[in-house]
Amino acid sequence: MATLSAENHVMAQSVPARWWHVQEERLVCDLCPRSCSLKDGDAGFCFVRENKGGQMVLNTYGRSTGFCIDPVEKKPLFHFYPGTSVFSFGTAGCNLGCKFCQAWEITKSREVLSRLSQQATPEMIAETAVQMGCRSVAFTYNDPVIWAEYAIDTAVACRQRGLKTIAVTAGYICPDPRHEFFEVMDATNVDLKGFTEDFYQHYTLSHLAPVLDTLMWLKQESSTWVEITTLLIPDANDSPCNIRRMCQWILRELGDEVPVHFTAFHPDYWMMHTPATPRRTLVSAREIALEVGLKYVYVGNVLDSPRQSTYCPNCNQRLIERTGYEIGEYALLDHRCPSCGCDIAGSFAQKPGHWGTRQLPIDMKSLQSQQELQNQV
């Protein structure tokens, strides 16, 4: 099977894809548990991997829906170099079918393929991120699992320049590619969308077990820093009983130090008639998680400083004050509580970054033109 190298695919659109096999004149994709079986000319559920004349191709390598410098808190990652900036980008498509998708214009609309106007090689992305002073590069906005070849090549280029790498994903990936994908990721936020198979099947057109398997594998087999996000949707996945079961599972299988973010849904895509998540649901989910024994639990998509700040799990001193994405008072000494010396899980620099809440779109086309002009002078 063909492998990719960034040099070979500058500005490419369709490139040979990896992780597939032939079965009865069809190509079966082995990248995610959906196992799409494609005859010539077919595209998979994610619509970015296609059978073209008996070869599997990825049609979004080197193409993006946009680049933006975000605060790391937006991913969300609260225990990974707080306050720093992250060069972030995504492509198109998704391997899940969430009815509540909050980014459906890029994940579900195939028209987006004609609007992938921003182009960049892995080297260009790494170079630009360094020039812009970013601490990390994030593969986000749509699930990077479906464009794993591009994400992996970019992650390698970023690490060579001393950047950290971040994957924001639903964790719906098969064991073989999983190893290669997360091997080059320093941190990940895994979207655990609910805690019943019914919810996963009905609302996301996928299955719960592979996601739990990825989370356990990350904990046991990889050195990637993991945080979990669950979007709480009224009357869909917000029952206190399920939230408790989920937290008990996290405690038992992943330990008490995995940060968990409960975030608020707003009406979108096929769920325009479902109301936004009330604040009390987030508050009560957080209380359940703390009661169960998880140490770091946050609420998101609302402003709630007391429930977005980090506290010492031993003496309860506030260590990192946050309001939304903004870092306030920062009391951590390296990675320890200054009062009792308790070690706080995660990756922390001596001082927080100062990126604040800015979200700065980056136009790679005009940056590249400027660079060419400078080179000519």
Q: What is the CB neighbour count within 10 angstroms for residue 262?
A: 27
Any idea which residue has 């699992």 for tokens?
145
Least distance to ligand SF4 from the beta carbon of 146, Å? 5
How far is residue 71's CA from residue 354's CA, in Å, rounded to a whole number? 9
Least distance to ligand SF4 from the beta carbon of 206, Å? 9
CB-nearer residue toward ligand SF4: 36 or 231 = 36
Report the helix count and the strand count for the chain, using DSSP H and E: 10, 20
Least distance to ligand SF4 from the beta carbon of 11, Å? 23
- Can you spell out the DSSP letters for 164-188? EEEEEE-----HHHHHHHHHT-SEE
Q: What is the CB neighbour count within 10 angstroms for residue 27?
A: 25
State the sign of the Cα–Cα–Cα–Cα dihedral 219, 216, 207, 146: positive
Least distance to ligand SF4 from the beta carbon of 172, Å? 8
CB-nearer residue toward ligand SF4: 46 or 129 = 46
CB-nearer residue toward ligand SF4: 46 or 246 = 46
CB-nearer residue toward ligand SF4: 34 or 178 = 34
Residue nearest to ligand SF4 (CB): 44
Contact set with ligand SF4 (CB under 6 A):
29, 31-32, 34-36, 44-46, 49, 95, 146
Number of residues that make up the chain = 377
CB-nearer residue toward ligand SF4: 35 or 371 = 35
Contact present, 353 and 84 (Cβ < 8 Å): yes
CB-nearer residue toward ligand SF4: 6 or 46 = 46
Least distance to ligand SF4 from the beta carbon of 106, Å? 15
CB-nearer residue toward ligand SF4: 32 or 120 = 32
Least distance to ligand SF4 from the beta carbon of 34, Å? 4
How far is residue 136's CA from residue 270's CA, in Å, rounded to a whole number? 33
Least distance to ligand SF4 from the beta carbon of 268, Å? 21
Contact present, 85 and 355 (Cβ < 8 Å): yes
**Start-end of H helices in the chain:** 104-107, 122-131, 148-160, 175-183, 197-204, 208-221, 240-254, 279-292, 305-308, 364-376
